[in-house]
């Protein structure tokens, strides 16, 4: 295929939740589109699990995983593509090399990812990231808030596109059903604080319906510790560990039975997923959340004092007191989220950014 038509996405890894997005992009671009990725991230390890046909490269980590390079024949396609969208991770030395070489060759390169590191736009690490953004010249970020913040912080960057971060295609909101469980969906890691949820659930048990179970979806280094905590607190009979689940139909079944989902630590894509199904979320109020938290408002979420099991327990009880109201609002919650945050919308924005020169999209706003 002629280089003038090829669009290549280069990422460190492509987790299972990118499957729907990749299929939607391929539907729109056909064989013009290729995805290139390594198989494993640095610890904590996340792996490429999409069934979408990708071109594999090897991720080689150095200095304890603080920097890495990507090697393999597919890197030649990334260099030669008409449009290359790179993972905006300054720790990848290959990204810097590709961006510089393509800049010399006059080929279009877009950076894609979170606009800023978790430490924020005023951090030392963002000074490095800002150089990478400038070299790319065009950037795709995940939320409208990030776009506004980036243009204020770095007004000379050039074009900034919004590619709303989503995990799945458009879904129908869950029906009234049982809607009685508490749901945690995410990695079982210290930053996510799932142990706080287990403790809060144990505190709330006497004040919520006896059939209300805590369903934990995910895997990670805290799993055995959580299982032990559940046993110690005497709630083993009402807590379900379901492991990692990526199938959308299985996920919908869990959300179908959930009154509310909970993010006891920092929140990101779990919020867009929960709201898409029409299930509200209880969120810690003072954690280094991902930008997707801008979706949360008083109509779809409740906030509690971070790191307080008592505060979280009180919110859980309060949500059950208002159970009928939350269930009634499910359709509205789902529709407002899915106006922008679906795999279809994400792919539409991605393609519009990648093909701007062909399709004449306004560089200031691709999808809104």
pLDDT in tens for each of the 368 residues of the chain?
A: 556 689 999 999 999 999 999 999 999 999 999 999 999 998 877 899 999 999 999 999 999 989 999 999 999 999 999 999 999 999 999 999 999 999 999 999 999 999 998 888 888 889 999 999 999 999 999 999 999 999 999 998 989 999 999 999 999 998 877 899 999 999 999 999 999 999 999 999 999 999 999 999 999 999 999 999 999 999 999 999 999 998 888 999 999 999 999 999 999 999 999 999 999 999 999 999 999 999 999 999 999 999 999 999 999 999 999 999 999 999 999 999 999 999 999 999 999 999 984 333 333 343 32
Rounded to whole angstroms, the Cα distance separating 300 from 295 reads: 9
Rounded to whole angstroms, the Cα distance separating 22 from 50 reads: 9
Helices 269-276 and 330-338: crossing angle, nearest 10°?
130
Rounded to whole angstroms, the Cα distance separating 190 from 265 reads: 8
DSSP assignments along 284-339, one per residue: ESSS---GGGGG--TTTEEEE-TT-HHHHHHHHHHHHHTHHHHHHTHHHHHHHHHT
Question: Do 340 and 227 contact (CB within 8 A), yes or no?
Answer: no
pLDDT value, residue 2: 55
Helices 19-29 and 343-354: crossing angle, nearest 10°?
50
Give the list of residues 6+ apart from residue 254 with CB closer than 8 angstroms, or none.
Answer: 181, 183, 185, 215, 217, 242, 245
Question: Do 33 and 26 contact (CB within 8 A), yes or no?
Answer: yes
195-232: b (≥16 Cβ within 10 Å) or e: bbbbbbbbbbbeebeeebbbbbbbbeebbeebbebbee
Cα Dmax for the chain = 67
Fold of 3-168+342-359: Rossmann fold (3.40.50)
pLDDT value, residue 88: 93
- CATH class for the domain made up of 181-338: alpha beta
pLDDT value, residue 175: 84
Ranges for all domains in the chain classified under CATH 3.40.50.2000:
3-168+342-359, 181-338
Strands 58-62 vs 67-71: parallel, antiparallel or unpaired = antiparallel
**Residue in the block written with tokens 């597919």:** 74
Question: What are 125's two structure tokens?
Answer: 């690490």
């Amino acid at each position: 295929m002629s280089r003038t038509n090829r669009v290549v996405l280069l990422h460190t890894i492509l987790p299972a939740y990118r499957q729907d997005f990749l299929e939607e992009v391929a539907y729109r671009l056909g064989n013009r589109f290729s995805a290139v990725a390594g198989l494993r991230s640095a610890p904590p390890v996340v792996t490429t699990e999409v069934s979408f046909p990708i071109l594999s490269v090897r991720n080689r980590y150095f200095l304890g995983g603080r920097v890495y390079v990507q090697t393999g024949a597919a890197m030649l396609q990334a260099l030669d593509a008409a449009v290359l969208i790179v993972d905006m991770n300054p720790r990848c030395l290959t990204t810097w090399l590709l961006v510089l070489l393509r800049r010399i060759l006059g080929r279009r390169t877009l950076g894609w990812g979170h606009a800023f590191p978790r430490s924020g736009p005023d951090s030392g690490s963002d000074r490095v990231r800002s150089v990478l953004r400038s070299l790319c010249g065009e950037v795709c970020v995940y939320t409208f808030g990030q776009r506004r913040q980036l243009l204020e912080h770095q007004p000379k960057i050039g074009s900034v596109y919004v590619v709303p971060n989503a995990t799945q295609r458009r879904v129908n909101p869950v029906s009234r059903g049982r809607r009685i469980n508490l749901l945690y969906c995410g990695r079982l890691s210290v930053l996510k604080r799932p142990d706080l949820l287990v403790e809060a659930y144990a505190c709330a048990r006497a004040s919520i319906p006896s059939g209300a179970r805590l369903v934990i979806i995910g895997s990670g280094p805290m799993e055995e510790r959580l299982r032990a905590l559940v046993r110690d607190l005497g709630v083993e009979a009402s807590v379900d560990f379901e492991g990692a689940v990526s199938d959308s139909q299985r996920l919908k079944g869990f959300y179908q039975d959930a009154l509310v989902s909970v993010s006891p630590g920092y929140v990101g894509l779990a919020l867009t997923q929960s709201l898409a199904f029409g299930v509200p979320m209880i969120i810690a109020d003072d954690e280094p959340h991902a930008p997707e938290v801008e979706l949360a408002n008083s109509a779809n979420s409740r906030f509690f004092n971070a790191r307080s099991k008592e505060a979280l327990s009180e919110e859980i009880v309060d949500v059950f007191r208002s159970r009928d109201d939350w269930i009634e609002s499910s359709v509205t919650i789902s529709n407002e989220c899915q106006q922008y945050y679906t795999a279809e919308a994400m792919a539409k924005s991605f393609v519009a950014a990648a093909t701007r020169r062909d399709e004449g999209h306004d560089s200031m706003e691709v999808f809104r």
